Structure 1
Amino acid sequence: MKLDSSVSAVVTGGASGLGAATARALAAQGVRVAIFDFNEEKGAQLARETGGVFCKVDVTSEDMVDAGFARARAAHGQERILVNCAGTGLAVKTASRDRKTGEATHFPLDAFDRIIQINLVGTFRCIAKSAQGMLSLDPLEHRERGAIVNTASAAAEDGQMGQAAYSASKAGVIGMTLPIARDLMSEGIRCNTILPGIFNTPLMQAAPDNVKAALAASVPFPKRFGAPEEFAQLALTMITNGYFNGEDVRLDGALRMAPR
């Protein structure tokens, strides 16, 4: 797919981190970008910077997702590109003991469900609604109508202690990538997923310096955090390379996460 001003895109979780880098990279190619995010201040600022449109969206809300797509399409027309970066995490052991009292507790199931709803169900909700809209588009060269890129995590394959909910949600994103690509193959819509390792996002920047140094040293090569722009570069490759379909690709400097 050729990227220019005739193409529009939606980036979920687009106000910061990996999503913001992807929104900027798409806008730099002339693409008209709509940013879905819950952070109104950062989202609106990035929309002004990129000449795009901000849509306040919680991906767990059917109504907000519908309203976001309606606003984006009113501003830019039907999107040909969807990049899903909205997500969250929580580190709690499946079952554990209180260090002081010895009391046994388990992972709160409402918190487990929340992670699944945001990372997995929210991703699929946006895919289904975007793909439905893409069916209305005229095909481009090679019968292509659109491209979808999702964000999973290296933790989907080697999750650490406390990551059962997060790993399950991201493994679900990987698991649905190929079936979605097959569902949409006759309509010329491709679907791929990126599995980032340790990236220099706002969440990571808030960690203590000693923690960041240890994490960076754990990456085989290069021994540093991934840059959001490197994630965006791979996302654009998945979008522009018409033979890239049904794949999940690790982007992690050969990192394989230790148990803790």
Structure 2
Amino acid sequence: MTLLSVNLNKIAVLRNSRGGNEPDIATAAHTCIEAGCGGITVHPRPDMRHVTPADVRVIAGLLRGRVEYNIEGNPFAGARGAYPGLLELAREVRPNQVTLVPDGDGQITSDHGFDLTKDIDTLKPIVAAFREIGCRVSVFVDAGGEGFAEAAAIGVQRIELYTGPYAEAFAEGDARKELAAFSDTARRAQQAGLAVNAGHDLSQANLGTFKSAIPGLAEVSIGHALIGEALYQGLTNTVKAYLEILS
């Protein structure tokens, strides 16, 4: 079954909007795990707009091998204040997986992936550094991307498909063109020996259709929609609903 990794960034956004410790991100992680999710995802950024390095460490202590830990981030964003950089955080907490994303401070959210045909030489040493500390390496990419054999050759083990364009087309009523592009991209990546993850704007409404179009989908990372739906349905019920879709 496709693994569900719950992204907890929005819990931190809500907490940070008020200050203090509520809602508590560790309690949220525990609740998701008890509901049956297979992983927890966080995406710390240098500006610490949501998940902080302290959160990354707290969650690492909570998980202790119970489920997979996936940390997303830009590996080229340097240390700033309390943010030590993605590689240094990974060295501290040793997540199961790191997902490399080319985001910057000016982006409200991640909105594109790496171009593996252009970025492969830049990625090569950083991929090696993460592999050296035992992390599985996934790289955020767009549908239609190329360079999967080259990525596998430098040690990349997975790609994560940026599914924002699919979600937008689905909401507009016809996602057939986007689904064909994502299916082709996933097939080519798998042929190159890479496993395929997916994430961004996936929801209860559109997840089933997407999963059906991507045989062998390894993992989905879902946060924004899941936390929004949980406001109405409850966090435990929402996680279970996603697991039902994935099953």
Q: TM-score, normalised by structure 1?
A: 0.35
User: Which structure has the larger Rg over C-alpha atoms?
Assistant: 1
